[in-house]
Structure 1
Amino acid sequence: MVYTTQMDAAKKGIITKQMRIVAQEENIDPDVLRQSVADGKVVIPANRNHINLAPKGVGERLRTKINVNLGVSKDCYNIDLELEKAKKAIELKAEAIMDLSCYGKTEKFRRKLIDMSPAMIGTVPMYDAVGMLDKALKDITVDEFFKVVEKHAEDGVDFMTIHCGMNQATAERIKKNKRLTNIVSRGGSLLFAWMELNNQENPFYEYYDRLLDICEKYDVTLSLGDACRPGSINDSTDPAQIEELITLGELTKRAWARNVQVMIEGPGHIALNEIAANMLLEKKLCHGAPFYVLGPLVTDIAPGYDHITSAIGGAIAAANGADFLCYVTPAEHLRLPNLDDIKEGIIATRIAAHAADIAKGIPGARDWDNQMSAARADVDFSRMIELAIDPEKARKYREESTPECEDTCTMCGKMCPMKNIKKLLNGEDLNIA
């Protein structure tokens, strides 16, 4: 039977190769997964032109996935370095990489990234429009915007962030309800500027069906961007954010009617006590579509440590229903991240995702923790290092401080409770002098 997209296949009762791979990896019944894809509760971003993709599922009953942002800018135009970052992200088991390149002719980097990456690839075509077209933002036409989108799809991009939900009504809402940090979405700010400069409606909202044509043709998952996401905890859950979310829910149903898979992007900065409510709002207003959040960052005071503020928020968000976490690095708000920043951001976000999977009761999520605990009970440092989420760092710490007794550490030494209680329970003599 012929099908156009993963969702189209799922609705027709077809279990695709990608669905079988995801079902096996997630230890879920393939037909249960197929139904979730048909219902829009799970997406499998898999552009038919991304040949070496290792497909992953994002959504209900599945492990929380993480995304890594990278890409060239005018101030840091180094394609080789960005490819090294991509390799590091893949090595550290990130499920997705977003190319946020916003300067020059980005096609060369994008195609290299897609060719070498088994991880799913996302982009924000709006970033690329100015460089690819070599025109002032104001002068870009509607046709040219869609030309850029189709080029990204043709190249093999698996999911695209498009800010379709910020229409003229939402823009007016922003003007009437003063925010502390205005619009912090880069793509959203560019669209807002284009709308204001040309006194026109958002082309991706006005000609949404044209966008769906492209997504359906290549099976691109539409990641409906949050142009009005809060850039400070002061601005979270405000009228502009909620109005845009309502619009995204309406656009989700229109996409599903065309068999286009949809994710919803969510807020970036939220106080701890608002996170659960935001997750509930998205799931309700957007009909259970997978939720993709940046962080969220739970405080605004920690530049240099925002991978921590983000991991705190990400764990709470995912435990309350978020399906996909966009990592944040220590360099957030300060500069483009380097290789060390990339690693710190990935590890922090993977910890958050795993902690949430335990809370969500994802089958097998606790197995890793139980293995680590067993190794600790046996005072088996080699096994602990092997099981660590970052074995390299665990090994380095162990080797930097050598204990008197090999089967202890320099924190407790002979007073090691794991070692001593085990000896006592086994009826052995105990000497800690």
Structure 2
Amino acid sequence: MAAYATQMDAAKQGILTPEMETVAKEEHLEPELIRQRVAKGTICIPANIHHKSLHPYGIGEGLRTKMNVNLGISGDCHDYTAEFEKVKLAIQFQCEAIMDLSNYGKTHTFRKQLIEMSPAMIGTVPMYDAIGYLEKDLADIKATDFLKVLEAHAKEGVDFQTIHAGINRRAVEALKRQKRTTNIVSRGGSLLFAWMEMTGNENPFYEYYDDVLDILRKYDVTISLGDALRPGCNADSTDAGQISELVELGALTKRAWERDVQVMVEGPGHMTMDEIAANMKLQKRLCYGAPFYVLGPLVTDVAPGYDHITAAIGGAIAAMSGADFLCYVTPAEHLRLPDLQDVRDGIVASKIAAHAADLARGIPGARDWDNAMSKARCAIDWEGMFAQAIDPEKARDYFESRPPQDRHTCSMCGKMCAMRTSNKILNGESVSLTPDEA
């Protein structure tokens, strides 16, 4: 039996776990530095003791920006085969995390198969599964019932769980005074708000927070403190409701660390570009440097069908300014359940945002990837370029859809290719644009 309960517990004892060693190697950092930051809470390594297929990843201070893919079945779309195709795509693109947001029927079988096959971290929102799991209407669920769902997910091997513990009665009062444009847009947050208002009770995840932590510690599940009051439009960003909840999340972060439970903090939804950097600093300050899991932020509200772009813009700024973990957004956001192409587009947009931020932050190894692409481009080495592309399949398809006569160019510039011209002159060759020139 392990001499430690969680990654944080091990780190505080001075123990380097295999997971810490893996993270250090892949991040080009010293293992001792990883251990120190895990002990401090500024890095988390979500790794449930029952997730045997997991490839461990670190999230937090000084590490590459990680990304998450949301998927799962719903009442209108419960095609398990289609969702597993999305899982395979996420694994193909080496996404670090997958969240199962299923909210229809008995989700245990889907989640069990997902955990068995996925090297990515698996996350859930137990609140989504409560109705189906407990077979009760929302108003009939007891406070302690919610904890049963949380423990069921933990036993199955889920690496992190989004728990909306910060939307307590104080935060709700701040929300009501604010009179928001879009009220509560968090699905889990809205359900908890409804339950609290219908029953007159405090948020069960807040009231029984110590019990929540005991369960998570038992299986080494990282708590992702959900932002139930995140802004759902630019008009609501950085308002009293959002900040009131964030203050509560900071206090809950410290309580989790005292129990050796690893923490991520979620936020902030929609906001204009000029507010993003300040929000990143505010979160880090109020939550003591805990890793920040960013939802968006969407920088404009008027682009349905293109919200993977609005989120990638916001995600890049957020990650450059201190966010550690991006949640992808697909073109289907606000419109429908994403299909396979939507998922692909969302993954690529988020990976671009994450890597662009890593370049700006000088993350070890980040520039090596771009340098490899640049060398292949200079050499007009198409296979080399495809190998370095975020989406090699699309890059190849575009090139081959209208191939040039001369494979040392592309069909846009032909023999006027700047790389070709420069290379020839620098090699002491002359340049001719006649058709018969090699």
TM-score, normalised with respect to structure 1: 0.99
Q: Deviations over 1:205-249 (max 9, x none)?
A: 111101000011111000000000011111110010001001100
Q: 1:212 corresponds to which letter in structure 2?
A: L
Q: Deviations over 1:51-94 (max 9, x none)?
A: 11111000011110000000010000111211121111111110
Q: 1:427 corresponds to which letter in structure 2?
A: G
Q: 411-420 vs 219-228, which deviates more?
A: 411-420
Give the Cα separation in 2 of the matches to 1:12 and 1:385. 45
Q: How does 1:157-176 map to 2 (within 5 A)?
A: 157-176=158-177
Q: Does 1:218 align with 2:219?
A: yes
Q: Deviations over 1:112-136 (max 9, x none)?
A: 1111111110000000000111111
Q: Does 1:389 align with 2:390?
A: yes
Q: Does 1:321 align with 2:339?
A: no
Q: How does 1:91-102 map to 2 (within 5 A)?
A: 91-102=92-103
Give the Cα separation in 2 of the matches to 1:116 and 1:378. 39
User: Helix, strand or coil: the match of 2:11?
Assistant: helix
Aligned to 2:124: 123
Q: How does 1:151-190 map to 2 (within 5 A)?
A: 151-190=152-191
**Deviation (angstroms), 1:2:** 1.6
**Deviation (angstroms), 1:426:** 2.0
**Deviation (angstroms), 1:432:** 2.3
Aligned to 1:2: 3
Q: Deviations over 1:265-309 (max 9, x none)?
A: 011111000000010000000000000011111111111111111
Aligned to 2:245: 244
Give the Cα separation in 1 of the matches to 2:245 and 2:170. 9
Aligned to 1:280: 281
Aligned to 2:46: 45
Give the Cα separation in 1 of the matches to 2:6 and 2:64. 22
Q: Deviations over 1:168-224 (max 9, x none)?
A: 111111111111111000000000000000011101111110100001111100000
Give the Cα separation in 2 of the matches to 1:30 and 1:295. 31
Gaps of 5+ in 2: none
Q: Does 1:11 align with 2:32?
A: no
Q: 2:380 corresponds to which letter in structure 1?
A: V
User: Helix, strand or coil: the match of 2:158?
Assistant: coil
Q: Does 1:307 align with 2:308?
A: yes
Give the Cα separation in 2 of the matches to 1:411 and 1:118. 40
Instruction: Give the alignment's Cα RMSD to 1 decimal.
Output: 0.9
Give the Cα separation in 1 of the matches to 2:373 and 2:387. 9
Q: How does 1:364-383 map to 2 (within 5 A)?
A: 364-383=365-384
Give the Cα separation in 2 of the matches to 1:9 and 1:404. 61
Give the Cα separation in 1 of the matches to 2:120 and 2:64. 15
User: Helix, strand or coil: the match of 1:296?
Assistant: strand
User: Helix, strand or coil: the match of 2:270?
Assistant: coil
Give the Cα separation in 2 of the matches to 1:9 and 1:204. 26
Q: 2:287 corresponds to which letter in structure 1?
A: C
Q: 2:45 corresponds to which letter in structure 1?
A: I
Equivalent pair of 2:27/2:63 in contact (CA under 8 Å): yes
Q: Deviations over 1:319-365 (max 9, x none)?
A: 00000000000111000011111111001101110000001110110
**Deviation (angstroms), 1:108:** 1.1
**Deviation (angstroms), 1:404:** 2.8
Give the Cα separation in 1 of the matches to 2:382 and 2:86. 30
User: Helix, strand or coil: the match of 1:260?
Assistant: coil
Give the Cα separation in 1 of the matches to 2:406 and 2:121. 47
Give the Cα separation in 1 of the matches to 2:86 and 2:323. 25
Q: How does 1:50-61 map to 2 (within 5 A)?
A: 50-61=51-62
Give the Cα separation in 1 of the matches to 2:137 and 2:176. 24
Aligned to 1:360: 361
Give the Cα separation in 1 of the matches to 2:351 and 2:241. 31
Aligned to 1:71: 72
**Deviation (angstroms), 1:386:** 1.6
Give the Cα separation in 2 of the matches to 1:4 and 1:198. 36
Aligned to 2:27: 26
Give the Cα separation in 1 of the matches to 2:326 and 2:63. 13
Q: 2:117 corresponds to which letter in structure 1?
A: M
Equivalent pair of 2:299/2:314 in contact (CA under 8 Å): yes
Aligned to 1:111: 112
Aligned to 1:342: 343
TM-score, normalised with respect to structure 2: 0.98
Q: 2:47 corresponds to which letter in structure 1?
A: A
State the 4+ residue runs in structure 1 displaced beyond 6 angstroms: none
Give the Cα separation in 1 of the matches to 2:198 and 2:344. 40
Give the Cα separation in 2 of the matches to 1:310 and 1:78. 27
User: Helix, strand or coil: the match of 1:295?
Assistant: strand
User: Helix, strand or coil: the match of 2:68?
Assistant: strand
Gaps of 5+ in 1: none
